[in-house]
């Protein structure tokens, strides 16, 4: 008995493709039959990923796109639609450097550093989702997705404006869903515990460990202990969940965030 690929004949745009999350999701999308268009601020990283996917037998193209630039996002999306005939999946994996954003008490944090994840991360998610949503509603189908982290739902110290940005993106997912679902477009996301094989989490854990006066490994052990399985999720586990939700087999999932906290947040 043959099993069809989850994303056979789908066209996906992945923003932030040069990062660890975008890399894992892009390769898994391609493995499941999607034609992937990789958009990243650093072209060389997206090109390396595209070459990996093509070498493995997939279909991928890379482009330099600043997800904070509305015109750049619009022009790239128009190019994708012209080449592929449409877009089925829009996935935002745009990241932020966290060195000056976390690890500082809110009362001591510079206002610009507090606002930066809200102004940049939320803006990038809004721009990419809005432009994809316009195209998808016109054709009557599509999936828009992003990834957030568990501070969107629980109180963690020294998170700066990052937790607020994650919470805002989850609100955006819900509001987009209720507006776009009647037009055949699903909007959803994944909320994950820290993935230690991600460079961002390596950086973040180090920042928080220093702020707590402990080692990075001790901080990771502390975070791990809060999960039911006493371990943290991997990038590939996240990519598998994202791929399933992006597929037609998950047609009943909309307006929500899949809980990948491994029990740290009970639903």
Mean pLDDT of 4-30: 97
pLDDT for res 100: 75
- Nearest partner of 16 among 163, 121, 161, judged by Cα: 121
pLDDT in tens, 33-78: 999 999 999 999 999 999 999 999 999 999 999 999 999 999 999 9
pLDDT in tens, 167-211: 999 999 999 999 999 999 999 999 999 999 998 888 899 999 999
Of the chain, the end-to-end C-alpha distance in Å amounts to 36
Which DSSP helix (H) or strand (E) runs through 172?
Answer: helix 162-180
Q: What share of the chain is helix, strand, coil (3-state, %, to 5)?
A: 50, 15, 35
pLDDT in tens, 83-126: 999 999 999 999 877 667 899 999 999 999 999 999 999 999 99
Its pTM stands at 0.95
């Amino acid at each position: 008995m043959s099993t069809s690929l989850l994303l056979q004949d789908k066209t996906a745009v992945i923003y932030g493709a040069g990062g660890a999350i975008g890399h894992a999701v892009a390769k898994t999308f391609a493995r499941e039959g999607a034609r992937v268009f990789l958009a990243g601020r650093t072209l060389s990283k997206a090109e390396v990923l595209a070459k990996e996917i093509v070498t493995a037998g997939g279909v991928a193209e890379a482009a330099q796109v600043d997800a904070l630039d509305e015109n750049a996002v619009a022009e790239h999306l128009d190019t994708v639609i012209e080449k592929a005939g449409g877009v089925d999946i829009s996935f935002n994996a745009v990241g932020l450097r966290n060195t000056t954003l976390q690890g500082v008490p809110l009362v001591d944090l510079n206002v610009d550093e507090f606002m930066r994840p809200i102004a940049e991360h939320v803006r990038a998610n809004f721009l990419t989702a809005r432009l994809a949503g316009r195209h998808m509603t016109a054709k009557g189908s599509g999936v828009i997705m992003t990834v957030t982290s568990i501070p969107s739902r629980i109180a963690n110290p020294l998170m700066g404006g990052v937790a607020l940005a994650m919470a805002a993106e989850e609100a955006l997912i819900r509001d987009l869903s209720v507006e776009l679902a009647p037009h055949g477009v699903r909007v959803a996301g994944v909320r994950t515990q820290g993935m230690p094989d991600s460079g961002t989490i390596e950086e973040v854990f180090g920042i928080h460990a220093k702020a707590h006066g402990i080692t990075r490994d001790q901080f990771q052990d502390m975070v791990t202990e809060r999960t039911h399985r006493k371990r943290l999720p991997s990038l590939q586990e996240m990519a598998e969940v994202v791929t399933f939700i992006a597929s037609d087999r998950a047609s009943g999932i909309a307006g929500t965030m899949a809980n990948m906290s491994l029990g740290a947040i009970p639903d």
